[in-house]
A = this chain, B = another copy of it.
Amino acid sequence: MPSLSSMSQSQDIQFDGLYAHELTVSRSENVLLEDAELHLAPATITYLYGENGTGKTSLMRCLTGLLQPDDGKIYWNKKPINHPESGYFQDLIFLAHSLSMKNELTIAENLTFYAQLRCGGSYNNKELQADISQVLTDLGIGGLEGRMFAELSAGQQHKVALARLMLEPAKIWILDEPFVNLDQKTRGWLAAKTLEFKAQGGVVLFTSHHHIDELPVDQKVGVEHE
């Protein structure tokens, strides 16, 4: 593929937010998406739906750059996501199925690590610890900061992963089944926080197999397969 034409294309992109152009994704020889277009505008919440195995997770992994699409380009604020100036990876939080927390560390240590990784030294440690306590309390697991991650229940572990959303500044959230394993109260909390994030101009993409009453969405995108 000649690189020149794609450069010129990148200047043509008129969309703010995340824009995927002619995306083709396949998994072990099955084509999941072909020439798909997707636009996630700032201050919108997009709900990705589809039956099991249609390719929602695969699409998300492409949008985060973890999976190489067969074809197509992905832009963040008009720049290809891999372009150093796009700042995409600074702006992105991706919560996948695997919770990405270390069993051997405590809740606070896990969260501190990710916050510092994103913000460098700019996040004052004392402030950070106070914020962590605050978020955990909101989530109903206050006081467990020093508990080893492995020694939590399924839902509590999930809550810790969600706490990252509150501790790290970002402009786009990509959440793969974020409501799984959560009790009613926590679902409400997450929905409220998502709406707040949207109100501040954030971009949200999430999947869920259950309808979440508390979360009105702006755009529904279905992934259907054959």
A53-B177 in contact (CB<8A): no
Question: Per a CB cutoff under 8 Å, which of B151, B156, B158, B187 touches A28?
Answer: B151
From A10-18, A37-45, A107-115, A178-186, the one touching the partner chain is A178-186
Distance in Å from the Cβ of A214 to the closest Cβ of chain B? 13
Q: Which residue of B lies closest to A158 (CB)?
A: B52
Residues of A contacting B: mostly: loop
Within 8 A of B (CB), among A167-226: 177, 180-187, 209-210
B151-A177 in contact (CB<8A): no
Number of residues of chain A lying within 8 A (CB) of chain B: 30
Known A177-B181, A181-B177, A181-B180; contact A52-B153, beta-carbon cutoff 8 A: yes
- Residues of B near A156 (CB, < 8 A) are 52-53
A140 near B: Cβ within 8 Å? yes
Known A181-B180, A209-B181; contact A186-B154, beta-carbon cutoff 8 A: no
- Residues of B near A141 (CB, < 8 A) are 53
Q: Which residue of B lies closest to A156 (CB)?
A: B53
- Residues of B near A209 (CB, < 8 A) are 155, 181-184, 187
A159 near B: Cβ within 8 Å? yes
Question: Per a CB cutoff under 8 Å, which of B180, B183, B186 touches A180?
Answer: B180
A92 near B: Cβ within 8 Å? no
A154-B97 in contact (CB<8A): yes
A185-B155 in contact (CB<8A): no
Residues of A within 8 A of B (CB): 27-28, 50-53, 55, 57, 97, 140-141, 151-156, 158-159, 177, 180-187, 209-210
